[in-house]
Amino acid sequence: MTQDEKKSILARIISGIHVTKVVATRSVKGKYGDTFVGFSAAWNSVQEDGGQDLVKAGDDTDDGQTVTGMTLKEAMIASCILSREVDIAAYRNAAAGGNITAEQARNAIANTKAHYGQVLSSLMDGRNDENPHGGK
């Protein structure tokens, strides 16, 4: 297979990817253990993991719906937004539970907002390989 054929296949597959769910988790380690937060966000979709209407559970009809997912770029942006929020929630929860100090939480949240802002800006500009801490 030639390089052009490989590139064509990759481009076709990437353009056909539609992401319907983004998941982000965060664990903050503190003096009394770990504080864990996880968020899951669905995009314009019908869940197939038990979220169906129980009244219709016995029906033989197909309730399938067309799902319009996010493009890969949109999913990367959504992941950044969701990860930012889960990180912030984890720090707030860790401070609320006494696992870290309020000052540690404030500093961590300020850094988190700044770093995710840089990453989000890069993604919006089409640059997805940049590290907010410098380097690649």
Q: What is the pLDDT of residue 48?
A: 56
Mean pLDDT of the region 118-131: 81
- Domain assignment present for 61: yes
Q: What is the pLDDT of residue 134?
A: 57
- Domain assignment present for 10: no
- Domain assignment present for 49: yes
- Domain assignment present for 132: no
pLDDT tens digits, 22-46: 999 999 998 889 999 999 988 776 6
- Domain assignment present for 134: no
Residue 25 lies in domain: 19-124
Mean pLDDT of the region 3-18: 87
- Domain assignment present for 46: yes
Is residue 54 within 8 Å of 34, Cβ to Cβ?
Answer: no
pLDDT tens digits, 46-104: 655 444 444 444 455 445 555 578 888 888 999 999 999 999 999 999 999 999 999 99
Q: How far apart are CA 22 and CA 14, in angstroms?
A: 17
- Domain assignment present for 106: yes
Q: What is the pLDDT of residue 47?
A: 53
- Domain assignment present for 99: yes
* pLDDT: which is higher, 45 or 136: 45
Q: How many domains does the chain have?
A: 1
